[in-house]
Amino acid sequence: MLYSSTTGTGPDLVLLHGWGFNGDLFDDLIDRYKNQYRITKIDLPGHGRSDDVTGGLDEWCDEIIKILPDNPTLLGWSLGGLLAINIATKIKISKLVLIASTPNFVQNSNWKYGINADNFQQFSDALQLNLSKGLKRFVSLQTQDKTQLKTLNQSIDKFPASTKALNQGLEILLATDLLDEFKQLKIPIEVTLGNHDTLIPYRISNWYDKVKIKTQVLNTGHLPFLHKDFTL
């Protein structure tokens, strides 16, 4: 069973976090928007308070779909964005919001906007040697707000992801290409990128422009939603 928590009033907004974290990552964002949206945060399979789910991308998404409200706005950060794109091909949603995310995370001969697979594997291997320490260091590079950092660090320690889920999530990130599916979506889509993001190069905004997707680029790293200028 997956963990979820709902707060606020208004149209439904569902938040999907990224690899290694949990839904508490969005608590500041929820506080800002709970009077405008009915917000549901979900811990991804094997992350935080959620049970492991056997399988990969589709199996993860099928479990998430079971607890989604009808026709929500779906916001996905990083890995959560990849899941959100896949979910949008399966069920009706009103809007897709991608934060520091892309339909394909890994470079290949036809896709220059990803990261090098070997470099990404080294990054993830280093993180997994000491996940808590690695995630905390990663977060410390994204925000200078000491209160924010303290809250995020406490969440990282309290609700770690399982080894199985970490390996599944990495496989999803490395093996998933949803470019064709993404271009066929007929729903409103908004994208936010960080111009200092080392995982999702902000020059992907050029590609999003070509496929007519509204994009904003903030002066941040891989966690743009922590920045004061981020708006929904």
Which one of 78, 101, 124, 155 is the catalytic residue?
78
Long-range contacts of 162-165 (CB under 8 A, 24+ apart): 162/46, 162/47, 162/52, 164/46, 164/52, 165/44, 165/45, 165/46, 165/47, 165/52
Which one of 43, 50, 205, 222 is the catalytic residue?
222
CA 41 to chain centre: 12
Spatial separation of the C-alpha atoms in residues 182 and 102, rounded to whole Å? 9
Minimal CA–CA distance to 102: which of 46, 220, 44, 183? 183
Residue 180 annotated in active site: no
Residue 197 annotated in active site: yes
Residue 125 annotated in active site: no
Which one of 17, 43, 197, 205 is the catalytic residue?
197
> What is the set of active-site residues?
78, 197, 222
